[in-house]
């Protein structure tokens, strides 16, 4: 980390990149970096942001983890004590700020493109590391934009759903259109595969080969390629096996600085430095402005026997769990369970569902097809990612995911991925409704004026 900061301070006075034209990377009248170390500085800036959780563009920061939790059905807005910009009443309260996410994410793409398009040294040890990180970073950024700014993936409409403009080299005159979501997904996969081929294993650079593989698994999962999801997730779960008991609780509630990554985390943000005042306010105050929903609390059928029950909320149903920006082995396990379920392989789906529950629930009895709880007709999610009615097996997997990844930047995207259910909350006598189109954030009108080839998302025209 100190090395990152040294290079950033050394270089910042000699090179500055305008953020005004984030799709236009070749800047007139500005000097590009010269040495490999200079190019590395652009990447170090973003690695530093991951470790300190000061950026919402890559792994997210604790402000957004809380906001997105508030968009979902995990917290009860109707019983909210007070509201704030970090605890919006519903997703519609945030849309005015969401318009900037496209611009902000492309600002980082701009830095990555400067490196990949202009750094001549890609063969030295440092050059290979920086190239690998750059490809991983670009894959992550496009994955984030695909989830936030595109409609959920649909195999039948993949060539019709609007994607993200592909900007992979310098061209001041280019004004790329959005293409389709399949082109976007293929671009993400291509970047991550190029990063994986470079085999970066140095944890100093954070975005190692394992992180690239984790995002590759996430991308396959999002686009419903269950076979490839299983192949990548299984490899990672073997390397980052599930932990339990005190080790699990220590991982979930751990606070920086970390000497090593806690537990079975593949990557974690906010790993260095002392806990900031802002984090303490979000965690100790803002996360406790509203209780968890009774429906969410009711998923813990085993109550105190499930270690997550006491970790997640207290006796007054107010949050206790730390805000986490990470990817863990448990997520890979849940991907495996769901992937096999979509492929109608009930035996393996149950195998991985039971693997996780066994590590979380004391005196656990394995679930079998004839002992699965029935589908709750009142549950928010009613169809799976492929639009099929939930089976008891799929419902159990999704419920397990909801419990495991609570306060980890996940539930909102699970709602989006599984049918985009519409729902409403009441607060101070006003009804706030989450409509289907609100799951996909709008583009900024300024972006549309600058580039006439961009098309606004449905509902925001």
Domain with 105 in it: what CATH number? Answer: 1.25.40.390
How many distinct structural domains can be found in the chain? 1
The answer on pLDDT for 225 being more than 60 is: yes
> What is the predicted pLDDT for the residue at 294?
96
> What is the predicted pLDDT for the residue at 379?
97
Contact between 299 and 402 (Cβ < 8 Å): yes
DSSP for 226-290 reads HHHHHHHHHHHHHHS----HHHHHHHHH--SPPSS--TTEEEESS-SSPPPHHHHHHHHTGGGSS
> What is the predicted pLDDT for the residue at 126?
96
Integer angstrom CA distances of residue 78 from 70, 75, 82: 11, 9, 10
> What is the predicted pLDDT for the residue at 414?
98
Q: Which of 10-19, 74-83, 359-368, 417-426 has the lowest mean pLDDT?
A: 10-19
The answer to whether position 456 is within a domain reads no
Q: Which band of pLDDT confidence, cut at 50, 70 and 90, is reported for residue 83? A: confident
The answer on pLDDT for 21 being more than 50 is: no
> What is the predicted pLDDT for the residue at 274?
56
The answer on pLDDT for 72 being more than 80 is: yes
The answer to whether position 263 is within a domain reads yes
The answer to whether position 265 is within a domain reads yes
The answer on pLDDT for 145 being more than 80 is: yes
How far is 460 from 448, CA to CA, in rounded Å? 12
The answer to whether position 176 is within a domain reads yes
The answer to whether position 455 is within a domain reads no
Domain range for 12: 2-450
> What is the predicted pLDDT for the residue at 18?
36
**Is the full-model pTM beyond 0.85?**
yes
The answer to whether position 458 is within a domain reads no
Percent of residues, the chain, with pLDDT higher than 70? 91
Q: Which two tokens stand for residue 302?
A: 């085993």
């Amino acid at each position: 980390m100190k090395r990152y900061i040294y290079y950033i301070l050394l270089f910042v006075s000699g090179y500055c990149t305008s953020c005004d034209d984030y799709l236009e990377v070749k800047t007139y009248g500005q000097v590009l970096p010269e040495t490999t170390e200079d190019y590395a500085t652009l990447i170090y800036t973003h690695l530093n942001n991951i470790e300190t959780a000061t950026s919402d563009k890559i792994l997210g920061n604790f402000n957004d983890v809380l906001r997105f939790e508030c968009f979902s059905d995990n917290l009860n807005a109707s019983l909210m004590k007070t509201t704030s910009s970090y605890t919006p009443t519903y997703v519609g309260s945030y849309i005015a700020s969401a318009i900037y996410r496209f611009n902000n994410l492309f600002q980082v793409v701009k830095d990555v493109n400067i490196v990949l398009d202009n750094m001549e040294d890609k063969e030295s040890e440092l050059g290979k590391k920086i190239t690998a990180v750059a490809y991983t970073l670009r894959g992550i950024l496009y994955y984030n934009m695909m989830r936030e700014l595109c409609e959920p993936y649909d195999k039948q409409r993949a060539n019709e759903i609007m994607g993200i403009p592909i900007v992979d080299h310098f061209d001041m005159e280019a004004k790329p259109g959005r293409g389709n979501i399949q082109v976007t997904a293929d671009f993400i996969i291509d970047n991550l595969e190029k990063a994986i081929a470079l085999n970066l294993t140095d944890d100093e650079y954070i975005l190692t080969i394992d992180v690239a593989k984790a995002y590759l698994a996430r991308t396959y999962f999002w686009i419903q390629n269950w076979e490839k999801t299983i192949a990548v997730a299984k490899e990672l779960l073997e390397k980052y096996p599930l932990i339990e008991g005190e080790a699990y609780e220590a991982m979930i509630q751990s606070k920086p600085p970390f000497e090593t990554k806690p537990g079975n985390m593949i990557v974690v943000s906010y790993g260095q430095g002392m806990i900031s005042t802002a984090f303490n306010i979000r965690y100790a105050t803002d996360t406790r402005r509203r209780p968890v929903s009774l429906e969410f609390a009711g998923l813990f059928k085993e109550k105190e026997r499930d270690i997550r029950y006491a970790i997640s909320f207290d006796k007054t149903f107010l949050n206790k769990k730390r805000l986490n920006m990470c990817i863990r082995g448990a997520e890979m396990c849940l991907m495996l369970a769901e992937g096999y379920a979509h492929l109608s392989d009930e035996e393996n789906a149950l195998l991985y569902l039971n693997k996780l529950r066994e590590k979380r629930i004391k005196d656990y009895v394995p679930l079998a097809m004839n002992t699965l709880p029935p589908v709750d007709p009142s549950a928010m999610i009613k169809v799976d990612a492929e639009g099929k009615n939930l089976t008891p097996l799929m419902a159990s997997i999704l419920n397990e995911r909801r419990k495991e990844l609570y306060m980890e930047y996940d539930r909102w995207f699970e709602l989006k991925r599984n049918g985009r259910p519409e729902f409403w909350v009441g607060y101070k006598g006003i009804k706030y409704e989450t409509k289907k189109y609100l799951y996909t954030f709008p583009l900024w009108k300024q972006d549309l004026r600058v580039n006439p080839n961009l098309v606004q998302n449905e509902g925001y025209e």
